Amino acid sequence: MISRNTPMDPYDLVVFGATGDLAQRKIFPALFRRFCAGQIPDEARLIGAARSNIGNVAFRERLSDALKEHAPRRAADPSSLTAFLARVKYVSVDASGNKGWEALSGLLTEPRVRAFYFSVGPRLFGDLARRIHEYGLASPLTRIVVEKPFGNDLQSAEQLNATLAAYFKERQIYRIDHYLGKETVQNLMAVRFGNMLFEPLWNSQYVDHIQITVAETVGVGGRGAYYDRAGAMRDMMQNHLMQLLCLIAMEPPAKFDPDAVRDEKLKVIRALDPVAPHHIVRGQYFAAAGDPEPDYRTAVDQPRSSTESYIALKAHISNWRWAGTPFYLRTGKRLVARSSVINVMFKDAPHSIFGEEAGRHANLLSIRLQPNEGITLHVTIKEPGPGGMRLVDVPLDMSFAEALGPEGGDPPDAYERLIMDVIRGNQTLFMRGDEVEAAWAWTDPIIAGWESRGDVPKPYDSGSTGPGDADLLMRRDDRRWQGINP
Ligand code: BG6
């Protein structure tokens, strides 16, 4: 199976915030990989824009280092690296002033697809959108790409949406949730809607509960100031886990097109019940003995911080398909392993013809998103050997890498796919404004509850599976979390 690349018409891509961390770590490395794959035609223009008063040469030097670090395999070929760098121009532009805009306009003259990537803080979104208009750089073929955090509550998200809507139509706005660009996250839709096997059982009659885990081993890195204001709820739950929940729970869209998919996701978010305080566990990590990395509070430089680096909660979706099936969601930093998995736990068979002594094992479908992408279906078979009928649970294990073989190729990084989708004008994997607002509308009362009660997160050791109370959340329902395995 060879991965196929669709040829692209010439386009212009301007990355604002080009000297920043995201641009250097993710956006330009993704463009470089697409360049090596032949998806950046000769006539396409790649422009980095930022405030720094540097020229093309200094920018390319900096970019070269970033590509060697973040796309090392491709950057090992000096001719590709040199050819790519020669394609990138730099313009020093002031988002909230007039400096540099004439120079930028001078580069963007042809009527063609033009994408502006706002890899800057949300407070600059309005300024950038306004100047793009004032300098005549917007046409119906213009698109803007905005990163999370898209607001930090419903009100700020509404304001951002209104600001952008003053200059661009919704079909021109691409709100990134990079989880949607992950190959295996899209596989959730393929597994559900490309097979007849699962969908008839995909409801509360057959599914006991669903667990969604996104566990990270990393801490807050150099993003302490941002993270301590956000916490796991705003940083991960409101967006990435919410998107996974939507894809697992939504009704089949009539077709795989942007509004059909996003309409169905929105219905899931709107059907979520408010979460009761005793169905939420917040945690904050402390360095376990011998851990060279600091505690959360030291990492964010806030000795009294009560921000959560871990959250687990039980959610209910009040609709015909899911009423009665709880969804347990958890995510945290500095946990025992990096592992993103969705576990669909089916109900027990209604009656055991073999007698209770033979044992009973409910089926489990595990969808591993990262690393070791694949699916495992646990089925019950007879334990081999003479003697009575005893039942055992065995995994039917499929690793996508093994199934697709070496020719399956490296899955593209989420940003590669998403940037190319922007150029193609395909919004299916981007969040619509109403979706983001609905997610905040569900999140806000939860956060407001903690704040008004003065809730403090439970401590957990780095390298553990999170606070013990998260296990209790399950045990109270006579259930348990699946392990967090690498
Ligand atoms: C980001 C969060 O959106 O996603 C980070 O801000 C988190 O805190 C990251 O580490 C996780 O992404 P991935 O692709 O490594 O699972």
Q: What is the average per-residue pLDDT within 280-297?
A: 95
Closest atom of ligand 1 relative to the 235 alpha carbon: 6
Residue 4 pLDDT > 80, yes or no? no
319: in domain:
yes
423 pLDDT exceeds 80?
A: yes
What is the average pLDDT score of the chain? 94
Whether residue 42 is predicted with pLDDT greater than 80 in this model: the reply is yes
128 pLDDT more than 90: yes
pLDDT value at 251 more than 60: yes
Task: Specify whether 122 is located in the same domain as 230.
Answer: no
pTM of the model: 0.94
Which token pair is 438? 């609905």
Inside any domain, residue 140: yes
Q: Which pLDDT band, with edges at 50, 70 and 90, does 405 fall under?
A: low
pLDDT of residue 204: 98
Q: For residue 327, is it within any domain?
A: yes
Domain count, the chain: 2
Cβ of 413 below 6 Å from ligand 1: no
The enclosing domain of 230 has a CATH number of: 3.30.360.10
Structural domain contains residue 421? no
Indicate whether 124 and 229 sit together in one domain: no
Torsion, Cα 150 153 158 164, to 10 degrees, reads -20
Do residues 80 and 222 share a domain?
Answer: no
Q: What is the pLDDT of residue 352?
A: 87
Give the range among 93-107, 206-220, 370-384 with minimum mean pLDDT. Answer: 370-384
Evaluate whether residue 159 is within a structural domain. Answer: no
- If asked whether residues 451 and 305 sit together in one domain, one would say yes
Both tokens of 454, joined, read 């003065």
Mutate to test the pocket of ligand 1, among 146, 217, 240, 341 (most ligand atoms within 8 A of CB): 240
Q: Using an 8 Å Cβ cutoff, are 161 and 433 in contact?
A: yes
- What share of the chain has pLDDT > 70, as a percent? 98
Res 114 pLDDT > 70:
yes
pLDDT at position 7, please?
73
Amino acid letter, residue 455:
D
> Is residue 208 within 6 Å of ligand 1 at its C-beta?
no
Q: Ligand 1 centroid vs 459 CA: distance in angstroms?
A: 22
- Is 337 in the same domain as 461? yes
The closest residue, in CA terms, to atom 6 on ligand 1 is 235
Whether residue 386 sits in one domain with residue 242: yes
**216 C-beta closer than 6 A to ligand 1:** yes
Whether residues 189 and 256 share a domain: the answer is yes
Considering the domain architecture, whether residues 361 and 278 belong to the same structural domain is answered as yes
One domain for residues 142 and 219: no
Domain boundary among 102, 132, 147: 147
Listed residue (173, 165, 169) closest to 115, CA to CA: 173
**317 and 193, same structural domain?**
yes
Same structural domain for residues 309 and 372?
yes
| pLDDT computed for residue 1 by the predictor | 44
- Contact predicate 89/48, CB 8 Å: yes
Q: 71: pLDDT confidence band, cut at 50, 70 and 90?
A: very high
Angle between helices 56-70 and 28-36 (to 10 degrees): 80
Structure token pair of residue 380: 């019950």
Is 155 domain-assigned? Answer: no
Lowest mean pLDDT among 66-80, 180-194, 305-319: 180-194
Residue nearest to atom 13 of ligand 1 (CA): 179
Same domain, residue pair 186 and 237: yes
pLDDT digits (tens, 9 = 90+) for 312-339: 999 999 999 999 999 999 999 999 999 9
CA angle 406/407/411 to nearest 5° reads 85
User: Once rounded to an integer, what is the mean pLDDT over residues 421-437?
Assistant: 97
| Whether the CB of 12 sits within 6 Å of ligand 1 | no
DSSP state of 323: T
* Cβ–Cβ < 8 Å for 355, 341: no
Note down the domain range covering 444. 180-409+435-475
The catalytic residues are 240
Q: Is the pLDDT of residue 361 over 90?
A: no
**Which residues, at least 6 apart from 42, have a Cβ–Cβ distance to it below 8 Å?**
10
Indicate whether 137 belongs to any domain: yes
| CATH code, 83 | 3.40.50.720
> What is the tens place of the pLDDT at every residue in 338-349?
999 999 999 998
Can you tell me the mean pLDDT for 139-156? 95
| Tokens standing for residue 291 | 């851990």
**435 touches ligand 1 (CB under 6 Å):** no
Let me know: does 161 contact 182? Beta carbons within 8 Å. no
Q: Confirm whether 161 is domain-assigned.
A: no
Whether 427 has a pLDDT exceeding 60, the answer reads yes
Q: What is the rounded distance in angstroms from the CA atom of residue 242 to the CA atom of residue 188?
A: 14
Distance (angstroms) between ligand 1 centre and the Cα of 9 equals: 32
Does the structure show a pLDDT above 90 at 2?
Answer: no
- Residue 220 reports pLDDT greater than 60: yes
Residue 386 has pLDDT above 80, yes or no: yes
pLDDT of residue 407: 57
> What residues contact 406, with CB distance under 8 A and at least 6 apart?
none
